Amino acid sequence: MVSGYLFDAYPKNDKMVIWIKAENGKTIRLEDSWTHSIYVAADGKEDLKSLAQNEAIKHYAKNSEFVLRYEKITDHDMRRVLKLDLADSQKAIALGNAIEGINYDAFRLYNVDVLPPQAYFYEHDLFPLAKCKVTESKGSLKWQVDDDLQATDYEVPDFKIIHLDAKHRQEARLPRFTDKLDSISIKFANQDIEIRNESEAEALDNLVREIAVLDPDFVFTADGDESVFPYLIERSMINQMQLVLSRESMPVESQKGGITYFSYGKVMYRPSTIMLHGRVHFDTHNSFIFDHSSLHGLYELARLCRMPLHTTSRATIGRCLSSMQFYCAFKKKLLVPWKPVNTEKWKSYHELFVADRGGLIFEPVVGVHENVGEFDFAALYPSIMRKRNVSGETVNCDCCPGSKNIVKELGYHICERKRGIVSEALELPLDKRAKYKKLKKMFPKGLKFQTYETRQGALKWIGVVSFGYLGHANSKFGLIDSHIVVCAIDREVLLLARNVAEDRGFNNLHGIVDSLWVQRMGASKEEYANLKEPIEQATGYDISFEGIYKWIAFLPSKNNPLVPVVNRYFGCFEDGNIIKDRGIETRRHDTPALFSRFQMEALQIMAKGNNIKEVKALMPKVWDLYQKYKQMLQEGRVALVDLIFTKNLSKDSAQYSVNTAETSAIYQLMEEGKMMQGGQTLQYVITDYYRKNSRKRTTPVDLINDKTIYDSRRYIELLAETCNSVTVPFGCKLKPNDGEAMQLV
Ligand SMILES: [Zn+2]
């Protein structure tokens, strides 16, 4: 018997390999003769029988049997489906494709893209870092878990952590895989090891030896997925060596290139990943894990989602959420469809109109306002989903037409008999987050506080993303209908809250998703705070009083000053002069640091004003600040690192043709052999903006050198725009490149 913590799991041929971190710090490798299974449904039972006998299928499946499962989330009865146990867990997609190749229309496929380690965890009720005892008998493992997902004080073993990097002997302006290896650095605890040998083969050999001796659990890299490891693999191949860095005695494998995909209407890029079987590789460029302290967030997520640490560190929150739903489905004997199904019912014009309004209900009153109170509902969307049982199968269910859980605005009803998968999967993360927030208050500082804070922070995103995921194309158990239902209930809740405020003489200025801004001239802080309780009573959801703004500006659309836009505002709270802002330059990740800093400083000057009149009187000071920044730009004193624009590319390099500032940077990278893919981030500085025919309008960050000079004229224009974003609401506007003083507008 082995006892310790479940550390890593991955499939290998017809086995599942498990690594246990024992309490004495040793790592133990175990094997379980287990493979992943996929399921096939068809209308004709004969079709399934002959499928099971098909030679091509037998090649992939070592075993087949008929079992009872719920095929669709809305089904009330189980049906007989064909279960195929794979000969090799990693061939699920190949088997899926083979079945579709036999008859695409006849068969419906399930659980094909559930990753084998996850399926193994669901089946055995396991999760990463679970404290457990394992007994081996005849090639099979028996598990006893002495741990609980509800636990907030679970133990985590001490892991040995190293940081790995490789330096090139660079032959061109950008590092290439054809460069010879210069040196390898390994950092751990307080030690640095540098491997530098005349012969590459020797250096790589030393690396393999050092890793075997150090035997780390976690290997951190900066861009190990796309750069450090692929480069080292390439160098090993050239030297005809095998690069064994995993605990499993097999060489590190290069994966196929990264992929570009769409998510929430945005082009995203996912790099390929490098696995170190039996160790965990964290790539800080490809993960939310950026340092050791963020590891506690990862542990918590990996446990709740039942996904290996390697996978969780690179997963989107949507994938984490899916895994929790898959586990619920597994427990209910419900199958997970391979390809998304769309069973939306036809909608009338009225329904579409009502449904399309999303979370917006009260457009902001554009302009600056004084003495405004803000109220925020806590995690409103996920709370609605949980409380009202919103899930793909519960909206307009056919088992309870007389349900009292009704969405008035839409005339929809929600199931009262079955717990929806989406709402059920949210219970654990929502509950645990609430627990950590409470614990945080009990330990207001120190290591415990940090741990709870990191864990609740990681769980927060599950709630935030859960709503968007309901209507997302990759979501297996949410439907657009349930998305619409959440929006409608949200509007109901905000309306109720507004009514409470209005009954007490407050004006509503703006309301969106889960926030409400109300105003009553002369109302005291206490009078504002007193709104909390009646709002909670009327709505049934927790709300917090965020405070009173001395002044707040709701901004119009950039293109049309008459059109209000939601979520573009800035204001200053009474207490402590704290600035809160959304949708302006300081907030945006694509804005050069200089502009963010300038705007923040300008707002800090304005924060000294207690009302609109006082802020207006401070405008000359903002003007002085602007002059100071302008002069720095003019004199070339600003560091290039403060002037970098960051853009998320919407397509691949080769597809860009129009000459813009952005494409000029892309072309230069292409000339140096670096192709960009849609979804990747491009960073550049503006160097000669107005030379329309020049390819040197901008310079990509990778190609910056001593001779690079920024275009001060263009940066000054943009500085003025940044200034105007915050001063125009107070009646002051700068004209770029001219005017000795600010003008009134
Ligand atoms: Zn029902």
Tell me: the pLDDT tens digits for 99-126? 999 988 899 999 999 999 999 999 999 9
Summarize pLDDT for 624-644 with one digit per residue, the tens: 999 999 999 999 999 998 999
Report how far ligand 1's centroid is from the alpha carbon of 413 (Å).
Answer: 9
Looking at the DSSP assignment, which residues form a beta bridge with residue 166?
Answer: 184
How far does residue 302's CA lie from ligand 1's centre (Å)? Answer: 32
pLDDT band at 706 (very low <50, low <70, confident <90, very high): confident
Q: Do 402 and 516 fall within a single domain?
A: yes
Dihedral (Cα; 356, 359, 360, 364), 10-degree rounding: -170
> Is there a domain that residue 308 lies in?
no
Higher-pLDDT residue of 523 and 466 is 523
For 165-178, write each residue's pLDDT tens digit: 999 998 887 888 88
Gap between the Cα atoms of 403 and 416, Å rounded: 6
Structure token pair of residue 126: 């396991």
CB-based contact 499:538 (threshold 8 Å): yes
Ligand 1 center to residue 480 CA distance, Å?
Answer: 18
Average pLDDT over residues 246-262: 80
**pLDDT over 70 percentage in the chain:** 90
For residues 395 and 478, give the distance between their C-alpha atoms in angstroms, rounded to a whole number.
10
Strands 161-169 and 218-221: parallel
Q: Rounded to the nearest whole angstrom, what is the distance from the C-alpha of residue 76 to the centroid of ligand 1? A: 10
Are the C-beta atoms of 160 and 188 separated by less than 8 Å? yes
User: How far apart are the CA of 412 and the centre of ligand 1, in A?
Assistant: 12
pLDDT above 90: residue 316: no
Number of neighbouring beta carbons within 10 Å of residue 521: 9
| Rounded mean pLDDT, 20-29 | 94
Distance from Cα 403 to the centre of ligand 1, integer Å:
7
**Three-class DSSP category at 732:** strand
Distance 333 CA to ligand 1 centre (A): 18
From residue 535, give the alpha-carbon distance in Å to each of 359, 500, 543. 18, 6, 8
Identify the CATH number of the domain in which residue 203 sits: 3.30.420.10
Mean pLDDT over 384-413 rounds to 91
Position 520 confidence tier, pLDDT thresholds 50, 70, 90: very high
More confident call, 492 vs 255: 492
Among the candidates 556, 583, 610, a domain finishes at 583
How much is the pLDDT for 342? 45
3-state secondary structure of 220: strand
Give the lowest-confidence range in 56-70, 195-209, 289-303: 289-303
CATH code of the domain covering residue 44: 3.30.70
- Please give the distance, rounded to the nearest whole angstrom, from the Cα atom of residue 393 to the centre of ligand 1: 9
- Indicate whether 558 pLDDT > 80: no
Residues 278 and 384 reside in one and the same domain: no
**pLDDT above 90: residue 301:** yes
Contact present, 685 and 712 (Cβ < 8 Å): no
CA of 418 to the centre of ligand 1 (A): 6
Please tell me the distance from the alpha carbon of residue 355 to that of residue 485, in angstroms, as a whole number: 8
Residue 53 confidence (pLDDT): 93
What are 574-593's pLDDT values in tens digits? Answer: 987 888 888 787 777 788 99
How confident is the model at residue 345, as a pLDDT?
43
In the predicted model, what is the mean pLDDT of residues 347-368? 61
Distance 344 CA to ligand 1 centre (A): 17
Q: Which of 83, 113, 143 is the last residue of a domain?
A: 113
Residue 605 lies in a domain: no
Question: Residues 600-616: what's their mean pLDDT?
Answer: 95
Q: How far is the CA of 680 from the centre of ligand 1 (A)?
A: 45
How distant, in Å, are the alpha carbons of 83, 93, 104, 328 from that of 50?
14, 20, 15, 32
Do 374 and 507 sit in the same domain of this protein? Answer: yes
- Each residue's pLDDT tens digit, 524-543: 999 999 999 999 999 999 99
The boundaries of the domain holding residue 385 are 355-583
For the record, the structure tokens of 630 come out as: 């302008």
Residues 499 and 387 in one domain: yes
**Lookup: tokens for 726:** 């915050």
pLDDT value at residue 266? 59
Phi and psi, residue 430, nearest 5°:
-65, -45
* Two structure tokens written together for 495: 């309306």
- Residue 410 CA to ligand 1 center (angstroms) comes to 17
Task: Quickly tell me which residue has 């290139």 as its tokens.
Answer: 257
CA of 20 to the centre of ligand 1 (A): 43
Residue 153 lies in a domain: no
* Residue 442: φ, ψ to 5°: -75, -25
Q: How much distance in Å is there from the Cα of 390 to the middle of ligand 1?
A: 11
Would you place residue 461 in the very low, low, confident or very high pLDDT band (cuts 50, 70, 90)?
confident
- Listing DSSP states for 319-337 in one string gives HHHHHHHHHHHHHTTB--B
**pLDDT the model gives residue 210:** 96
Please determine, for residue 80, whether its predicted confidence score (pLDDT) is greater than 70.
yes
| pLDDT for 4 beyond 70 | yes
What mean pLDDT is reported for the chain?
88
Q: Is 640 inside any structural domain?
A: yes
Q: How far apart are CA 191 and CA 162, in angstroms?
A: 10
In this predicted structure, the answer to whether residue 410 has a pLDDT above a threshold of 80 is yes
φ, ψ dihedrals at 303, nearest 5°? -65, -55
Distance 431 CA to ligand 1 centre (A): 25
Tell me whether residue 721 is in a domain: yes
**What are residue 9's phi and psi, to 5 degrees?**
-150, 135
Distance from the CA of 559 to the center of ligand 1, in angstroms?
47
Q: Please check whether residues 530 and 627 belong to one and the same domain.
A: no
What is the tally of structural domains in the chain?
4
Which helix or strand (DSSP H or E) is residue 463 part of? helix 446-470
Among 358, 594, 578, residue whose Cα is nearest residue 480: 358
Q: How far apart are CA 388 and CA 535, in angstroms?
A: 18
- Reading the block at residue 325, the tokens are 């739903």
How does pLDDT run across 564-579, given as a tens digit for each residue? Answer: 666 789 999 998 788 8
Is 18 within the bounds of a domain? no
Q: How far apart are the CA of 414 and the centre of ligand 1, in A? A: 7
Predicted pLDDT of residue 478: 64
Residue 59 three-state SS: helix
Element (H, E) at 16: strand 15-22
> What percent of the chain has a predicted confidence (pLDDT) above 90?
63
Distance 166 CA to ligand 1 centre (A): 59
576, 642: one domain: no
Q: Cα(398) to centroid of ligand 1, in Å? A: 6
Query: Distance of CA 404 to CAs 317, 356, 358, 431, Å?
Result: 33, 24, 24, 26
Q: Which of 265, 283, 301 is the last residue of a domain?
A: 283
Distance CA 97, CA 104 (A): 9
Mean predicted confidence (pLDDT) in 199-223: 95
Residue 718 lies in a domain: yes
> Is beta strand 180-188 parallel, antiparallel or unpaired with respect to 161-169?
antiparallel
- CA within 13 Å, CB half, 260: 15
> What is the structure's pLDDT at 364?
84
567 CA to centre of ligand 1 in angstroms? 37
Report the separation in Å between the CA atom of 394 and the middle of ligand 1, taken as the mean of its atom positions. Answer: 6
Phi and psi (nearest 5°) for 662? -65, -50
Residues 562 and 690 in one domain: no
- Which tokens sit at 343? 């069973």
pLDDT for 565:
63
Is the same domain home to 729 and 632?
yes
Q: Which residues contact 695 (CB under 8 A, 6 or more apart)?
A: 664, 667, 668
Same-domain check for residues 656 and 557: no
Report the 10 Å Cβ neighbour count for 303. 25
Nearest to 117 by CA among 276, 10, 277: 10
**Ligand 1 centroid to 475 CA: how many Å?**
21
pLDDT grade for 603, boundaries at 50, 70 and 90: very high
33 close to 15: Cβ distance less than 8 angstroms: yes
Q: Is residue 654 part of a domain?
A: yes
Residues 557 and 638 in one domain: no
Contact between 273 and 314 under an 8 Å Cβ cutoff? The reply is yes
Secondary structure class of 29 (helix, strand, coil): strand
Say if residue 167 is in the same domain as residue 91. no
Q: In the chain, what are the helix, strand and coil shares in percent, each to the nearest 5?
A: 40, 25, 35
For residue 650, what pLDDT band results from cuts at 50, 70 and 90?
Answer: confident
In this structure, the answer to whether residues 105 and 168 fall within a common structural domain is: no
